Structure 1
Amino acid sequence: MANEPTSGGRTGAELFIQALENEGVRYVFAVPGEENLDLLEALRTSNIELILNRHEQAAGFMAATYGRLTGRVGVCLSTLGPGATNLVTAAAYAQLGGMPMLMISGQKPIKSSKQGLFQILDVVDLMRPLTKYTRQISNANTIPAKIREAFRLASEERPGAVHLELPEDIAAETADPDTHIFEPSDARRPSASEKSLEMACDMLRQARHPLIMIGAGANRKRVSQALIHLVNVTNIPFFTTQMGKGVVDERHPRYLGNAALSSGDFVHCAIDHADLVINVGHDVVEKPPFFMRPGGKQVIHVNFSGADVDPVYFPQHEVVGDIANSVEYLAEHCGHCGNHDFSRFMEVKAAVDRHLQDRADDDRFPVVPQRIVSDVRRVMPEDGIIALDNGMYKLWFARNYPAYDNNTVLLDNALASMGAGLPSAMMAAMLQPNLKVMAICGDGGFMMNSQELETAVRLKLNLVVLIINDSAYGMIKWKQAQEGFQNFGLDYSNPDFVTYADAYGAHGHRVTGVADLRPTLAQALAQGGVHLVDVPVDYSENRRVFDEELADLTCQLKAR
């Protein structure tokens, strides 16, 4: 249970860093302040690498993405007051997205301070609704216990954000010599009961048109393997939520598409036809992939935890426990049912496949979204990673970009915060230096954390940043037009992005014709280093496809 203390007392800061080392922490993403200086000094002699960011929000996004990609707790650090408040968005991002992350914030001395209330906020209370656990450390001797508890809760399903505040005087305080550090536990997730699994099998055997939905909670390697087994054994078609992309290779013949919209898309024709939907890893924090209605289809909820009942999500049966084990049980025990009829689903798939080829080679300039998605897919290798910021293009990539493996499409459909795309891609590039990584951002989202280009260059990352440029908040403009409002208040001007990239020591590229896009991206990926590619987009396709064409085509499909 214990690491033996070194001779003599350790400061709170030294004890804190030793406890982080004991948890296997590799990086601390940080914008330090004077209240963190003792901790910074302890970090200087540690084997943990300090990643200095240019904004606390980006540090938090990187820490959260580290948690998402590794399953281990990502750690970020800020000072008090404005530093801590800048972590709030990242806290919500990790909490809603189910990403394990620890935030550490500094504070003025709590035993004796001569600075009044300068920069002081109740950060613990501020973080309470955004985290699974938030505490101020008031005694150096309690540091190891609080860190172990924070890591336990951050990692435990459902993962999320935790926060510890380390005041300046506690960081400098000498802990008792016998203060010990707690070893991480290796508790395993419980398996679902056999009774609930057999009930799920019975429902599956009785169903005529079952369908599988794959959500964010299934984005784990073991779950991916189990789901492939289930689909191959039962032949049940499947679709994904936005955050479930890539769990099963989307070239699979039973893949129907992505529920990027909540209703009215091709995949919803299949959902409407289903009499049973097996929801694997769905969480109501994600934008609803479809709406349940009383008296409609039956839904089985398969997840690490029970379903939060929502007006549009109220499953009739729940299988609660380790998802991979549950799915593997269904594959091994439910069998291939001869009464299943998937012919209608295959008609939907054929319609989806035809639709997604439309305009993929369109030669218009500025470039239409379908062509952008198609060219990105063509230049990215099978194991390449794209990290999407939030904007109109996210819908296009969710629908039109086939993912071949889990966590190769990083997008956020829970908090859906702008500004996360670049830091997320940077984290992926750090963890996977031999893979091709591309951040895909709108001009609006990119500018929210564009200063992190300097961090990416300093870290010598291999990263391509694709800016989809419409000089506006494009998704809101689309919604504004949808609702019949006049175009107002959403247009702006941008810097010269090529010059901007060059100023940071990155390589800037401007696409001036549709034929330039694919070779420019391919060259940037091949060269290595940090590249920014600015491409103008024609978003007139938003209205044509999402507001006009889909309604007509899906009605035709339903009428067959």
Structure 2
Amino acid sequence: MRKASDLFVAALEDGGVEYVFAVPGEENLDLIESIRTSRIRLVLTRHEQAAGFMAATVGRLTGGAGACLATLGPGATNLVTAAAYAQLGAMPMLMITGQKPIRTRRQGHFQILDVVAMMAPLTKFTRQIVSADIIPARVREALRSAEEERPGATHLELPQDIASDETDAMLIPASRSRRPVAEEKAIRRAAEAIRSAQRPLLMLGAGANRKTTARMLEAFVEKLGIPFFSTQMGKGVIDEANPLWLGTAALSDGDFVHRAIDAADCIINIGHDVVEKPPFFMREGKRTVIHVHYSGAVVDPVYFPQLEVVGDIANSVWRLGEALDPQAHWDFGCFDRARAALREHLEDRAGDDRFPMVSQRVVADMQRVLAPDDITCLDNGLYKLWFARNFRCRRPNTLLLDNALATMGAGLPSAMAARLVHPDRRVVAVCGDGGFMMNSQELETAVRLGLDLTVLVLRDDAYGMIKWKQSHEGYPEFGMDYGNPDFVKYAQSHGARGHRIASAHEFAPLLREVLDRPGVDLVEVAIDYSDDDRILNEDIPRLSAAIN
């Protein structure tokens, strides 16, 4: 016999959980004691939302479910945004929440919410554990569901009286399985469509961002020479220094990459997830779209592929590559022109000396300073478009951005989790001042954990992207400006080092300096988005239109 909470933690260990990110409550005390004597590392955060973001990022980087813990009531409700973040972003995560005793209650309905019902639309699996004996099955299913394609969020509620029960239940080991592969007829039809096309084009979406898939796609591109582009969450699947890279679909329409898409007569869509903004708008009869994914296409008004190859993506890509050879009639001239125009345009403003800095200079300087394996974690703001569009990823999962829920406040926690998972890599969090302040209290957590971490705070004293949209839509400026603390002193008050640059020339040297020393460094960078409207809505569409 052993205590139920001990069994619960043993099941987590058996499932590969290494960290539990937590803001505990009294209902979690048995579980906390069980974690104390386990191999799992308990990481206290200052807000449940940050704990969830960190757990989701562990899942994103490892493929195994990250775990977070909160109490009932307000602790559980504070996990809602993180649940949506993991669910939309396909990041495997297990949320564990406490609950008052369910057999006897002495406090009425104090703090009582139906958390299982609340989590139902935000998760793949959610259950209250009503018996200690069922813990092995519930934990195994929660982890399996979180990790299988399509990954996402799961939730278990462990009531206080169940956690303290005794049980002789045994662990349920994970079953061995392999994902189904696509039907041979589907492979043949897709190969024939690619073979007969004049201008085939490869698109890499979020679902392609898996280790085995990346290897197969590299071999596919190397053999066939088909140009490729990516969605924002597909960045880095293939090295973007590859001469066949056409760019990232960071804008809704009108960029250089969209001119290439418009010219394609066959798009091989690897791992497209409709949670991302559509990388192109389908026009019936203009081109053939081949959907290659673990599951069938989710059809909506802008995505209705003509062919589907459903099964393990890596296997499908390998079999398509085996079935194809380069074709003499393939014509990539329009793609070559789009690529050349884009690369020339990416240098525009990369050396701009203005201060406050422009986003393009920030991105270019970071590209020069960071090594291919270093990790950049973005919060959400207008700067994200420029990183997605201008930053060339050399490796998978080295630019972590959220183009699914697109929530603010995740940049710093996700960078902290990335550093825990990859202690051998340098990690930078890039946050706007608005997003940073939503979870800035986690600076203390980073310092306490002894992380080596660089945090860039892009300061414009406003909700910059909404202010930009407000102006773009013709509204007068109103209601978007706010004040900020002295970020240098703010960082110092948390035990970190704070820095503020006074010119664009200071940025790259300071970034090199802070990246190469231990500890947490915050760098405040004044940013100017005022020119972005003209660049995004006038310059880029005008120049890209000229390539045809």
| Normalised-by-shorter TM-score class | over 0.9
3-state SS of the aligned residue for 2:221? helix
- Alignment pair present for 1:316 and 2:303: no
Amino acid at match of 1:121: L
Q: Where in structure 1 are there 5+ consecutive unaligned residues?
A: 1-8
TM-score (norm 1): 0.97
3-state SS of the aligned residue for 1:239? strand
Partner of 1:344: 334
- Alignment pair present for 1:406 and 2:396: yes
Partner of 1:25: 17
Of 207, 213, 216, which aligns to 2:197? 207
Partner of 2:523: 533
Equivalent positions of 1:73-84 (< 5 A) are 73-84=65-76
Of 217, 238, 258, which aligns to 1:227? 217
Amino acid at match of 1:59: A
For residues 293 and 511 of structure 1, the distance between their equivalents in structure 2, rounded to whole angstroms, comes to: 48
- Alignment pair present for 1:464 and 2:459: no
- Alignment pair present for 1:424 and 2:424: no
TM-score (norm 2): 0.99
The Cα of 1:194 is off from its aligned counterpart by 1.1
Deviations 1:504-539 (A, max 9, x none): 111100011111100111100011211000000111
For residues 52 and 365 of structure 1, the distance between their equivalents in structure 2, rounded to whole angstroms, comes to: 38
Amino acid at match of 2:83: A
| Contact kept? 1:73, 1:101, Cα under 8 Å | yes
Partner of 1:4: none
For residues 348 and 273 of structure 2, the distance between their equivalents in structure 1, rounded to whole angstroms, comes to: 32
For residues 469 and 495 of structure 1, the distance between their equivalents in structure 2, rounded to whole angstroms, comes to: 11
**Consecutive aligned runs of 4 or more in structure 1 exceeding 3 Å deviation:** none
- Alignment pair present for 1:296 and 2:280: no
Partner of 1:556: 546
Partner of 2:97: 105
| Contact kept? 2:23, 2:45, Cα under 8 Å | yes
Deviations 1:448-478 (A, max 9, x none): 1101111111111111001111111111111
3-state SS of the aligned residue for 1:182? coil
Partner of 1:45: 37
Percent identical residues: 61
For residues 208 and 519 of structure 2, the distance between their equivalents in structure 1, rounded to whole angstroms, comes to: 33
Deviations 1:293-335 (A, max 9, x none): 2222110011111111011011111111111111111111111
Partner of 1:490: 480
| Contact kept? 1:498, 1:510, Cα under 8 Å | yes
3-state SS of the aligned residue for 2:296? coil
Amino acid at match of 1:21: E
Partner of 1:445: 435
- Alignment pair present for 1:518 and 2:508: yes
For residues 372 and 546 of structure 2, the distance between their equivalents in structure 1, rounded to whole angstroms, comes to: 34
For residues 485 and 63 of structure 2, the distance between their equivalents in structure 1, rounded to whole angstroms, comes to: 37
The Cα of 1:122 is off from its aligned counterpart by 0.3
Deviations 1:337-362 (A, max 9, x none): 11110011000000000100001001
| Contact kept? 1:262, 1:291, Cα under 8 Å | no
Partner of 2:122: 130
The Cα of 1:418 is off from its aligned counterpart by 0.5
CA RMSD of aligned residues (A): 0.8
Partner of 2:164: 172
- Alignment pair present for 1:65 and 2:65: no
Partner of 1:5: none
Of 87, 98, 116, which aligns to 2:108? 116
The Cα of 1:69 is off from its aligned counterpart by 0.2
The Cα of 1:185 is off from its aligned counterpart by 1.5
For residues 187 and 422 of structure 1, the distance between their equivalents in structure 2, rounded to whole angstroms, comes to: 36
| Contact kept? 1:369, 1:541, Cα under 8 Å | no
- Alignment pair present for 1:383 and 2:373: yes
For residues 528 and 296 of structure 1, the distance between their equivalents in structure 2, rounded to whole angstroms, comes to: 55
The Cα of 1:551 is off from its aligned counterpart by 2.2
155-164 or 548-557, which deviates more: 548-557
Q: Where in structure 2 are there 5+ consecutive unaligned residues?
A: none
Amino acid at match of 1:126: M
